[in-house]
A and B are shown apart, each in its own frame.
Chain A
Amino acid sequence: MMLQAAPNPLMKVENLVVEYSVGGKTIHAVSDVSLEIARGETLGLVGESGCGKSTLGRAVLQLRQAVSGKVLFDGHDLTTLKGEALRQMRRRVQLIFQDPIASLNPRRRIGDIVAEPLVIAGVKDPDERRRRVAEVLSAVGLDPTLVSGRLPHEFSGGQCQRICIARSLVLNPEFVICDEPVSALDVSIRAQILNLLEEMKARYGLTLLFIAHDLAVVKAVSDRVAVMYLGRLCEVGPSEQLFARPAHPYTALLIEAIPVPDPDVRPTQSVPVGEPPSPIAPPSGCRFRTRCPRADARCASEVPELRLVATGQFAACHHPLI
């Protein structure tokens, strides 16, 4: 498939399949997903709850084993690496979670929480650890002398997310997966954290996979956006272009459904009733066809492949909008 983002992508996911087995049934969480992320790029990943965004992120990090497919990081297939080799590679890839408060150990001090990846990576010198923790805490806008000795419950959600970001950056990773990093935060704090992520990206030369269900949030930080529905990719393309001219009916539906803070824009009443079907028995052919206004017989029988629809823009649809 031609999903070329750059000649030498830092991260390349090939035909990834991830399944869960629950009560004898198989959940098709990620089905045949391929993606590329260029060095220095931010790829946004959007889709409704349960469509497999987090599963994809976890499988990329090898926190969840894939059924098949490859995850090539800087040319190395993470799915076949083991032991020390995998550990070495994983230091270069970090994850930031949605719920900042829950992802911090409530009994440990902030200084120790942020130092933990250094300890695991074998940085033995306590002065060296202290120096690097102080450096990264300052970078995320916290005063190391004030916060290092305190416990997570003394901090607000936004501050906890800053601490999580500091922890994820302390090993100087190259690639960071942000899984809904601002969903749990208030509007006024959300903007602070999004700006911080952008600053950190520039400062540490990061490549980001930015997962969220909010399209406007994704657009604010992403160079390209990938849209996912029920375990499959629907569309990938440059952010501005994708939002201006979506090719996949599901992308169009998502854009239309966003509440606009302008009373002159009457909310559309055209959003079709219907909800994502079960990932246990996804619809045949195109998985979106049960909610798609353009669906026909072919959509039920043939899985649409991602095809080039415009420069850099790919859509998996038999009857694309462009």
Chain B
Amino acid sequence: MTSALLSVENAVVDLPTPRGNLRAVDHVDLAVGAGRTLGIVGESGCGKTMLSRAVLQLLPKKAKLSGRVMFDGQDLTKLSAEKLRKLRGRSLAVVFQDPMTSLNPVLTIGTQLIETIQEHLELDLAQARQRSIELLAAVGIPAPEQRLAQYPHQLSGGMRQRVAIAVALSCEPQLLIADEPTTALDVTIQAQILDLLAREQQRRHMAMIIITHDLGVVAGRTDEVAVMYAGRVVERAPTPALFKQMRMPYTEALLAALPKLDVAPHTPLPAISGRPPDPTRPLKGCSFSPRCRYSAERCASEKPQLCSAETPEHLYACFHPIAARVGA
């Protein structure tokens, strides 16, 4: 996709640890265009947060990144700290799982919104204040004017996440990265926040990346999904194609392991045995091979590369992909 707003090319993130090098992100390619939503799905430790931090150029100091992160025509890995700071909050915004990561507990909500707006946009105080009120209203906060004087701790978790989203949207970013934005919230609030993100993404024609461990979250709300396992993208496809025909055994297993409402109580769940490999001890073959029910000889000795299924948009890294096995 040449028209992509963001493209991550061959990204590798290495972290030195006392146990040896930890490859958090292993040769990842991704792209997302304006007005599109990409879901990144994976379990804890699979590298999804490190990948998003690599995009934002907010990696831990010790981390080493190679590859390119092209955003709006420029390589972010080559930008100065000053240019990056300007870009973040202006064109590149982020919403974290814990809204307190992005909110300052000792400043009022009004101060935080107004300061962010004034730092990036040429608006006077009255204009910035007016815009803050509009934003709070847009994210569904009742009585927005009164809220400007409140501190984050005076709000519930769901309200705080709305404020964090308002701050992220305040400068009309081109790309919004939402890292597990609803994991800490209750289902009813989760649905509201996801609706809100989808609505604002459409209205602003933003590009959006939703990072989550929940396949249910990406199913109805993304255009494309990338599934990560042990630092790599193991399957990537337009969302409908992925759910219609999963090719990679890990994706299939992840979906099967979810408890479902239409299954009778006490039905044993198809669990995935074992657990992900130690990231400081990478496997020679397919990282999923110790847990994969389809694993064969080649899987343990050779690493499967991403290749395309019947359409070039549907990629998977597996020697024995699912449909090919059917009837074989």
Contacts and interface: CB of A to CB of B under 8 A. Distances in A.
Interface residues of A, number: 48
Contacts of A223: 265-266
Contacts of B255: 261
A254 B188 contact: yes
Given A48-B186, A188-B253, A190-B257, A257 B191 contact: yes
B243 A271 contact: no
Contact of B271 (A188, A213, A257): A188
B194 A198 contact: no
Nearest to A196: B271
Given A195-B268, A195-B271, A239-B265, A259 B43 contact: no
A273 interface: yes
B269 A191 contact: yes
B172 interface: no
Contacts of B186: 48-49, 213
A119 B189 CA distance: 45
A216 B259 contact: yes
B91 interface: no
Interface string A175-196: 0000000000011111110110
Nearest to A202: B266
Given A257-B190, A259-B190, A267-B221, A187 B267 contact: no
B195 interface: yes
A268 B258 contact: no
Given A188-B275, A215-B261, A271-B191, A261 B159 contact: no
B49 to A, nearest CB: 14
B157 interface: yes
B34 interface: no
B236 to A, nearest CB: 15
A254 B191 CA distance: 10
Most buried by A among B187, B216, B217: B187
Given A188-B43, A192-B271, A213-B186, A275 B213 contact: no
A265 interface: yes
Interface in B42-63: 43-44
Most buried by B among A158, A189, A243: A189
A190 B221 CA distance: 24
Contacts of A262: 219-220, 243
A261 B219 contact: yes
B220 to A, nearest CB: 4
Contacts of A24: none
B105 interface: no
A247 B221 CA distance: 29
Most buried by B among A48, A221, A223, A273: A273
Contacts of B156: 275-276
A240 B192 contact: no
A265 B158 CA distance: 24
Contacts of B189: 48, 275
Contacts of A156: 275
A188 B213 CA distance: 10
Contact of B264 (A240, A259, A263, A264): A240
Interface in B158-194: 158-159, 186-192, 194
B240 A263 contact: yes
Interface in B117-167: 140, 156-159
Given A194-B269, A258-B216, A187 B254 contact: yes
A275 B195 CA distance: 15
A181 B193 CA distance: 26
A49 B188 CA distance: 11
Given A188-B257, A254-B187, A221 B265 contact: yes
A311 interface: no
A290 to B, nearest CB: 12
Nearest to B196: A273
A156 B220 CA distance: 32
Contact of A189 (B194, B259, B275): B275
A48 B216 CA distance: 19
B265 A261 contact: no
A255 B187 CA distance: 9
B214 interface: yes
A266 interface: yes
Given A260-B220, A271-B188, A220 B265 contact: yes
Interface in B253-288: 253-255, 257-261, 263-273, 275-276
A263 B219 contact: yes
Contacts of B266: 198, 220-221, 223
B273 A267 contact: no
Given A187-B254, A275-B189, A260 B219 contact: yes
Contacts of A259: 187, 190-191, 194, 214, 216-217, 219-220
A28 interface: no
B70 interface: no
A271 B192 contact: yes
Contacts of B194: 259, 267
Contacts of A261: 215-216, 219, 243, 255, 258
Contacts of A253: 188
Given A186-B213, A253-B188, 11 more contacts: A48-B188, A187-B214, A189-B275, A191-B259, A191-B271, A194-B259, A216-B260, A220-B267, A257-B190, A258-B261, A267-B220
24 contacts: A48-B188, A156-B275, A158-B275, A186-B43, A187-B254, A188-B254, A188-B257, A188-B275, A191-B258, A195-B269, A215-B261, A216-B258, A216-B259, A219-B263, A221-B265, A223-B266, A257-B190, A258-B187, A259-B187, A262-B243, A267-B195, A271-B191, A273-B192, A276-B156
